[in-house]
Structure 1
Amino acid sequence: MGKKVKKESETPCKETLQFEPLPVEAKTPATVVLLLSCPEEDILVKACEAIHKFAEKGDENKVSLLGLGALEPLCQLITHTNKLIRRNAFMALGIMATNGDIKSALKKIDVIASIIDKLSLEEDIVVHEFATLCLASLSVDFVCKVKISDNKGLPPLIQLLSSPDPDVKKNSLEIIFNLVQDHQSRLALHELGGIPPLLELLKSDFPVIQHLALKTLQNVTTDTDTCNTFREEQGFEKLMDILSNMDFRDLHAETLQVVANCLSDSKSLQLIHKGGGLTRLMESVLTPNLPEIQSNAVKCIARVAQSSENRKLLHEQNVEKVLVELLSVADISVKTATCQAVSVMSFHLASKDSFRDLDGIPAVVQLLNNESLELKEAATQALSNLTHSNQLNAFAVYEAGGDEILVQQLYGSCRRTVSNSAATLGNMAGQEVIRCSILSHGAIQALVEPLQSTDTQVLINTTLCLSVLACDTEARAELQSAGGLHPLVNLLRSYHKEVLHHACLAINVCASDVNTVAEMCQFGALEMLQEINLSVNRRSRFSELAMISLLNFNLSVKYSLTSHLASTDIISDGFYDVGKARAGQRIQTLEELSKQPVNEHQQIIVVNTATGKNKKDDKQKNETQPESPTEKPWKMMDDVSLQLLVNKAKKFILPLSDEREQCAALARLVSEAMGGAVEMEKLHEFPWVLHLSELKFQLRSNVVPIGLISRGIYCHRALLFKCLADCIGMSCTLDRGEYSRAWNEVLLFNGNPSMNERSSQPCRYIVDLMHQPGRLLTANTPAAVQYQTI
């Protein structure tokens, strides 16, 4: 037997339990993403580093990693206890967050609190860089901004503005800029002491940081308290140092925006002025500089001049002299900005005079000839403000030949230029010599096209200008011949309150001639004004005034709508009574009514004295308007009977010296012509209805000449009395009541005129034309009321 061998122990030693290190070589991103869930720290460090490098290569790689599920494990690893893992995870996450798709995915993961937690100063500076990079991408979104604020992200971000790393500064500043778009964050930044570090960043060697700091300051200095702190920290002085340094000219535009904020508050402006800051600003404006800088400097002045207190202080600093000098600068942008500043400063009354005394007005007028549309707009706006309520400035524009150039601007393509030009011409036309000059340059014709604009300010200024220019017969005739009445009337359809008001005002001015009134009525002006005046929201004193003006030249419509003609409303040939119209009803013309077939409705009573002059006028009218081969021109029926009554009134009543006798005698003449006195009790027996029906049948027309009526009652007699009274110059009214009632009211003095016993005040009387013709009934007495009503 062989020697017995000792059996080995079945329990392994400790060394045999150890696993030899296995080098991992991942060839696909999917493998690396899987390694992000590995418990071994060395592998996590390498996996995060690999993902960072892969993501750096482009957006396609970033999106690929998102699809492989890398985002959530990375968000967990940024809170890892191992600093190296944390750093590499932040580097990967920060790079990935710059992609839009990943940014959207991150918004759904509650990661902002974890990122903010790692912004403490004890954390690695690389973590700061990529954590702020990630937040910078997210802070563009409103919801993310709210989360950053709610998680108290602003205090550590303000601390990081002093970081030694420029990337950390830049990222932190970008986040703060996004946050301070919100008012609460602006206040919080100030309370947390964010102004000094922002000012310190103006000295940065990196332009991107300087620009971001200025943009952030531009936002936060809109708050008064922040402005005060900014001033206490010598912020304004630091801004002026930038403006005076040509090496920083790329910062000047944004610097001036902050300057404007600092100066917009009148208290701040005064304090800065005491320290010489305003003088430095004026000097920088006039210093031969880059045009862009000068332009922005003038825009800054314009912004400062928005308040009346600031305009006063700028005026005391002779800002007008600076602006007038800049009007001669060659650069278009500087001139444009200067005109805009002149516009704003012109709200200060003393400044208007200063611009005129410094010969600034001719300089602005000359700019109207420039080809730049933007400059023309700014120049016309400046002239509009300069001439508003200032006749001396208006005359200065006229002397510089501005009225002719402004009329040409009305044909321009820029709506603001057209609007400003119309406003300026309207301001100037208050002086008769200037108005005549404006009209001689064809202003009326030029205003017709702007009347059809869709721009409300163009319409407002055009109608205002028209209201001033169309105050004589020739101008109104020119407007009519130029086709301007139709678009003017169409503006009554506008629901814009100011446009409607000014259109009514222009119509009121144009309603001073029979011809213009007739044409406006053809275009439906009366009907539209009726509708407007029935509307609670649209009616105004302007629409009522326009309506009255139109009715004063169309007494037939006036009487139909209002049932009243004043003593100053003189009836003439062509007047007709169509009866009381309903509110909003269109009143047909006499020609339209005459062409209708005979009907059972109320007759239309017409006035036509049929004088030789009328016949001659009709003949001339027919010669100027050739007869249509298919339709003969309508002609009103002659009324010889009415002419005989007029002759009688002139022969027998006009010579009477006493007004009462004239009134009574005319009443008796009217009564005799229309069937004589009728007792009140027998009024129902008076055959006036049958008589008028017979007349309509005989004439084959609904239109009946008043002289042919031999059986008339209240409404017919009152109309005839008014007609005859107007012919002989006797004053009376005509009023319509209900149920065919109408009456005339006269004003007469009591007492004997030959004995100088007249009372000082005249009395109102109603003239009885029916029952006791010639009787005068004192107004408002029971007898007068009985005469007026049933």
Structure 2
Amino acid sequence: MGPKRQGKNEAKSPSLDMFDPVILESKTAGTAVLMLKSDEQDILVKVCFSLYKYAEKCDTNKDDLVKLGAVEPVFRLVQHEDRSVKTHACMVLGLLSSNSQARAMCRKLNCVPVISALLNPQEDVLVHEFATLCMMNMAKDYSGKTQLQSEDVLQPLVTMIESSDPDVQKNSAECIALLLQDFAAISLVRDLGAIQHLLALIQSEYPVIQDVALLALVQITNDFESRNELKQQGGIEKLLQFIRNNISNELTSLALHILANCLTNIECTEELTQCRGFETLLQAASESTLNQVKQQAAVAIGRFFTHPEQKKQCPEMNVEKVLVGMLSIDHAGLQAAAAETLSIVAELPSCREVICDSDGVRLAVHLLESEDAVVRKYALLVLATMTRDSHDISAQVSHEGGIEPLVTLLADGIPDVMINAAGVLTNLITDNSLRAEILQSRAISILLEPLKSGNPQLQIHASLLVCALATDGEARLELQTSGAVEALVELLRSYSEEVRRTACWAVAICAADTSTAIELIKHGALEMLQELCSSIARRNSFAEVALETLLNNNLPAKYSLKGALSATDVVVDGFYDAGAAKAGVRLLCLEELEKQQVSDRLPVVVINFGKLQEALGRCQLVL
């Protein structure tokens, strides 16, 4: 009997070798990670989507997945031949890449070439979004930046800026901004035409995209050629228009930052002038309600006036009052930027008058006691510029109580602050009426710290202040007792040519009387000056003047060194002859010689006219 035939409507029985479908429900992330090793595409898609939803919830979940070993199998699935599996795996990897340990694993797996290949036009927009997200996260680490640059990812990233998808635009621009932190990447990005695309993004309807585009432009305009390229692309006008439309928008500070960078190029400055851009800068400085915007506007105005031709126009632009007004706003960054720009415009005498009339001097003096070192630095710079060759402004600084804080700032501990304080005091001392007030404030004793600082620029300015102070006997006496003379002699040994030259000048001024000359010689100034004057490489004219002045005010040293005195030298009590000076042996002063024991060596002859007259008087009485 043959096999029974099935009717048309009778169901076929299942094949004996077919596995019946099993519906699995996983309640733990660990199980889901294990399922990433499945060969079934449907399972892989569902698992990846579940892991994506889990990772999306919080950073702790991402950390859990990394510890469970999800990175490597997910990365393997990014290379899957099925588009749906690839897309969902890319979504998971993009989220996980915000975790530092996940990024380290990605670098170890050398995932950059694979992720970069996903940026081709044939891939889905969702793949582009999460691939660029992964690259952006990797660019947050130095090692990640290095790996990205070595794989030539800039070209596909620049291409992605043109994407119609805002997430892709944002991720690509942010990744480029991070890579541009390495100066070497700037020229590569510029040559790929990225500036034009980034400028287009600042017109985006999404502030976050505008933000990252502006940040990228801030980085790229640190380069001279890129600044000119931005000008060629109409960037100056586009940025000005952005500022005009967003005068009190936080992003405007970034646009102003870019313009400030560009204004270091004279070509960009001329372009801004043609676009009536200075009025826009001044508008931002005066009308914006955001201090950060005002600050960047002040910086940009300062850059504008660094060019001599533009600076001549300063009196016509009425910028001084706006800048002075910023000094009274309780915002350290704004005060520092305004003060720095004021120090530039104050180089013009007509601008100084406006600054004074606008209460600028009082406000600058007030800022000398700011808690912020940068504010103190630029407040001092304003006063240094203002008091140059101006006794009236110097008197105003004194009237506002500026001398005491100025002297205190000589020991501020911040080199730039100390340098500028010394500069202001040097200017003030040219007004003889202020000299006594400065000396009474212990300026000379405080000078010991900057003289011994080890900072060449600070030592130069401290030596110049010594030159200004040490023009009378009282000041020179204080120099001796404070230890400043010894510190000054040490500077003659400096490796800096400018430090040695300035120290020689200070020694020449200090050696103007016998007592200070003796103190200088006691600390080795004579030998150091002789060495400088005999050196072909290190000699300078100030060393020769200092040596001559030192010897003219210490005749025993001059006689010992030269073996004779000139007709104009007047010998007085205390002159002594200790014999000819020997090379490499320091000349001892009379007090040091008196402490030595009597020997059979060459006697020291001392002239004392007072005792000689007494002896002659006794002789007359005997006669």
Which residue of the partner structure matches residue 85 of structure 2? 85
Distance 1:446 1:403 in 2: 18
Which residue of the partner structure matches residue 186 of structure 2? 186
Distance 1:538 1:614 in 2: 48
Distance 1:362 1:539 in 2: 48
Which residue of the partner structure matches residue 780 of structure 1? none
* Contact 1:161 1:168 survives alignment (8 Å): yes
Moved more, 60-69 or 195-204: 60-69
> SS state of the match for residue 284, structure 1?
helix
Distance 2:403 2:100 in 1: 54
> SS state of the match for residue 21, structure 1?
coil
Cα gap change, 1:264/1:441 in structure 2, threshold over 3 Å: closer, same or farther?
closer
Cα gap change, 1:488/1:373 in structure 2, threshold over 3 Å: closer, same or farther?
farther
Which residue of the partner structure matches residue 326 of structure 1? 323
Cα gap change, 1:7/1:203 in structure 2, threshold over 3 Å: closer, same or farther?
closer
| 1:178-257 alignment, distance < 5 Å | 178-246=178-246, 249-257=249-257
Cα gap change, 1:39/1:325 in structure 2, threshold over 3 Å: closer, same or farther?
closer
Which residue of the partner structure matches residue 372 of structure 1? 370
Distance 2:213 2:419 in 1: 40
The Cα offsets for residues 549-583 of structure 1, whole Å up to 9 and x where unpaired, read as: 22222222233344454444444443333333333
Per-residue deviation at 1:540?
4.1
* Contact 2:30 2:68 survives alignment (8 Å): yes
Per-residue deviation at 1:79?
1.8
Match of 2:396 among 393, 400, 416: 400
Which residue of the partner structure matches residue 607 of structure 2? 608
Per-residue deviation at 1:107?
0.8
**Aligned residue type for 1:395:** H
Per-residue deviation at 1:214?
0.8
Cα gap change, 1:171/1:320 in structure 2, threshold over 3 Å: closer, same or farther?
same
Q: Percent identity?
A: 33
**Aligned residue type for 2:130:** F
* Contact 2:236 2:268 survives alignment (8 Å): no
The Cα offsets for residues 372-408 of structure 1, whole Å up to 9 and x where unpaired, read as: 35555423212213444xx3xx223135354884432
Distance 1:176 1:514 in 2: 68
**Aligned residue type for 1:303:** R
Structure with more of its chain in helix, by fraction: 2
Matched length: 598
| 1:148-547 alignment, distance < 5 Å | 148-246=148-246, 249-287=249-287, 289-306=289-306, 310-318=307-315, 321-329=318-326, 330-333=328-331, 334-346=334-346, 351-358=347-354, 360=356, 363-367=359-363, 368-370=365-367, 371-374=369-372, 375-388=375-388, 391=389, 394-402=390-398, 405-408=401-404, 409-412=406-409, 414=412, 415=414, 416-430=416-430, 434-442=431-439, 445-453=442-450, 454=453, 456-477=456-477, 479-480=479-480, 485=485, 487-489=487-489, 491-492=491-492, 495-526=495-526, 529=529, 540-547=540-547
**Aligned residue type for 2:260:** A
Per-residue deviation at 1:133?
1.4
Cα gap change, 1:317/1:478 in structure 2, threshold over 3 Å: closer, same or farther?
closer
Which residue of the partner structure matches residue 721 of structure 1? none
> SS state of the match for residue 297, structure 2?
helix
**Aligned residue type for 1:400:** Q
Which residue of the partner structure matches residue 674 of structure 1? none
Per-residue deviation at 1:478?
5.4
Which residue of the partner structure matches residue 123 of structure 2? 123
Cα gap change, 1:484/1:27 in structure 2, threshold over 3 Å: closer, same or farther?
closer
Moved more, 102-111 or 358-367: 358-367
Distance 1:286 1:247 in 2: 10
The Cα offsets for residues 461-512 of structure 1, whole Å up to 9 and x where unpaired, read as: 2321231232233543455566654554455565554444323322211111
Cα gap change, 1:285/1:14 in structure 2, threshold over 3 Å: closer, same or farther?
closer
**Aligned residue type for 2:349:** D
The Cα offsets for residues 516-573 of structure 1, whole Å up to 9 and x where unpaired, read as: 2233344554455566667787654434433332222222223334445444444444
TM-score (norm 1): 0.68
Distance 1:441 1:14 in 2: 107
Distance 1:466 1:403 in 2: 24
**Aligned residue type for 2:520:** M
Cα gap change, 1:477/1:154 in structure 2, threshold over 3 Å: closer, same or farther?
closer
The Cα offsets for residues 144-194 of structure 1, whole Å up to 9 and x where unpaired, read as: 334434434223222322334332222111111112223443223333332
The Cα offsets for residues 736-789 of structure 1, whole Å up to 9 and x where unpaired, read as: xxxxxxxxxxxxxxxxxxxxxxxxxxxxxxxxxxxxxxxxxxxxxxxxxxxxxx
Distance 1:594 1:147 in 2: 75
Distance 1:639 1:105 in 2: 102
Q: Please identify the structure whose Cα radius of gyration is greater.
A: 1
> SS state of the match for residue 250, structure 1?
coil
Per-residue deviation at 1:114?
0.9
The Cα offsets for residues 253-301 of structure 1, whole Å up to 9 and x where unpaired, read as: 1111011122221122112212322333234333364443223211111
Which residue of the partner structure matches residue 48 of structure 1? 48
* Contact 2:129 2:167 survives alignment (8 Å): yes
* Contact 1:356 1:396 survives alignment (8 Å): no
* Contact 1:469 1:475 survives alignment (8 Å): yes
* Contact 1:411 1:418 survives alignment (8 Å): no
**Aligned residue type for 1:608:** I
Which residue of the partner structure matches residue 558 of structure 2? 558
Distance 1:148 1:111 in 2: 10
Per-residue deviation at 1:77?
1.5
* Contact 1:361 1:397 survives alignment (8 Å): no
* Contact 1:532 1:539 survives alignment (8 Å): yes
Distance 1:332 1:6 in 2: 104
Distance 1:116 1:417 in 2: 49
**Aligned residue type for 2:370:** S
**Aligned residue type for 1:365:** V
* Contact 1:425 1:465 survives alignment (8 Å): yes
Cα gap change, 1:594/1:118 in structure 2, threshold over 3 Å: closer, same or farther?
closer
TM-score (norm 2): 0.84
**Aligned residue type for 1:299:** V
Which residue of the partner structure matches residue 7 of structure 2? none
Cα gap change, 1:589/1:399 in structure 2, threshold over 3 Å: closer, same or farther?
closer
Which residue of the partner structure matches residue 574 of structure 2? 574
> SS state of the match for residue 17, structure 1?
coil
For structure 1, the 5+ residue unaligned runs are 616-637, 645-790
**Aligned residue type for 2:319:** V
Distance 1:586 1:194 in 2: 69
Per-residue deviation at 1:357?
4.2
